Amino acid sequence: MVVSQQRTDLVEKVLEDGQFQAQLANAIEQAKEENTTRIACIALKWQGSLDFVDLFERNPLMVKMQVFWRDGDLPSGKSLAIGEAVSFQAQAANVFDEARSLWRNTVAQFVGNGSKWVRFFCGQAFDPETERDVVWKEWPAGLMFLPRYLFIEEELGIRLVISLEVTKELDLASAVHAIRAELQRLSDPLERVERDFQEPLTFAQSSAADLETVESDSLQWKKAVAHVVQKIARKEFAKVVLARRRVWRAKEQISSATVLRNLLTRYETGVVFALQYVDQVFVGASPERLVQSFKQHVHIDCLAGTTARDQDLESDAQAATQLLASQKDRSEHAHVLRGILQDVQDVVGDLSYPDAPKLRSLTNVHHLYTPIEGYRLDGTTILDLVARLHPTPAVAGLPKHAAMMEIRVQEQMDRGFYAGPIGWLDAQGDGAFNVALRCGLLCGRDAVLYAGAGIVEDSNPWAEWAETEWKLQPMQTALSEE
């Protein structure tokens, strides 16, 4: 009883200190005066601590969409988005056209002190034109949502941004009562929802035969690599990226919180993310920034060319040196860099980058890395850059269109959101998107993991398979550790 009263007092203090009711009343008044819909965005200071990872897994409001996001390279890099104030799920290929339209129309309706901190979260399938298969059948081609509740961890505490659609008919007392009740449930660490199902969900309803069709076959994948190498030798492509997937089945339901905590412990830099859509969770630790924009200053990562790390320091240093000197990897990297520069030249000015790639060392691999800088032109948003950059040569190949067609033929699977863009943008059109790599899709006690390799003229099928094995390790480790 005492604990319950403390939670009630906490929520009341949050709402009163932030003048929530007064700001919402003002939004309703504007909606009445202008006979239109408004989006109230109200920023409040959260009182006390909050475990974002635990709250994501518990999902006490039983929302359809939520996102956990930890960006180790940015200040205020940890956030949790819960529920939808405004959203769309795209079934067609023009995901970013719909996203830009939703963003523009929604921002025009903003009222309140919170628009400065608002974030729209967005994700897209690698190939929106591919038919969803048994793994991704519940997912759209792309989605975007403005969260009802956005928690942002800052240096001095936690900021809460509440976004609420406001019409002239909205009753103030009822709206405040609903928000108060939801915040009390979110603040209760013991609040858990009993699910409808008795047994943990699986992708294929426990059918081992169906799951066998999901797992990529080693021999067939290596044959596909060999076919692509022959076509590259005939100058049909410069590079094609082939991916594969592995099924992981646990004895009990997989805990998204456990997976997230393991990834957060192992990867202090880069983005650790989890996107829940209905009953499934897409989770990973992406090392590759697709694009970042802050006050229109643009940063793009070019990552291509990879080798495994070694526990022996001397062997590890030798592997890094060999990667920097590798003609095959340098050539692959140059292809990717050239493709990125061509893609963004009409929306980014003052492009600059170093003459030679650097080394970016992660927990299990070394990458060749070139940072690209520039300025986003007026009248554009980060979505314009994402639409041009995706798919990058690092996850598709060159030339892009021909590589995508070859991927559809050779992979014989739906990548889903793997290797697609995932991230957020604010009311000013700035934001940060990563390429969804080092990731997997969780459904009950099943996980489907993804990894790919860049195929060029001198690629060896066995070596490329081994490269995908290294890239599967982060998620396999996160799933296997308690």
Active-site residue, selected from the candidate residues 57, 182, 288, 467: 288
Give the phi and the psi of residue 141 in degrees, each rounded to 5: -70, -25
Alpha helices in 234-326 (DSSP H): 256-266, 313-325
Using an 8 Å Cβ cutoff, are 475 and 284 in contact?
yes
Give CA separation, 58 vs 138, 261, 267, 379, in Å: 21, 14, 23, 40
* Catalytic annotation, pick one of 98, 239, 411, 464: 239
* Amino acid letter for position 463: A
Annotated active-site residue 295? The verdict is no
**Torsion angle in degrees (nearest 10) through CA of 80, 84, 85, 91:** 130
Phi (first) and psi of residue 102, to 5 degrees? -60, -45
Per-residue tokens: 103? 């963003």
Phi first, then psi: what are they for 387, rounded to 5°? -60, -35
Residues in the chain: 482
CA distance 82 to 46: 15
DSSP symbol at 380:
-
In this structure, what token pair is assigned to residue 5?
């009263």
Is 406 known to be catalytic? no
Structure tokens at 185: 């449930």
Three-state DSSP state, 356: coil
Encode 85-100 in three state secondary structure: CEEEEECCCCHHHHHH
Q: Which amino acid is at 361?
A: S
Contacts of 270 (CB under 8 A, 6+ apart): 71, 72, 73, 285, 286, 287, 288, 362, 434
Q: Which residue has the tokens 């390429």?
A: 435
Q: Considering Cα of 371, then 124, then 388, then 382, what sign does the dihedral take?
A: negative
Contact between 383 and 421 under an 8 Å Cβ cutoff? The reply is no
**Residue 139 contacts residue 147 (beta carbons within 8 Å):** no
Catalytic residues: 239, 288
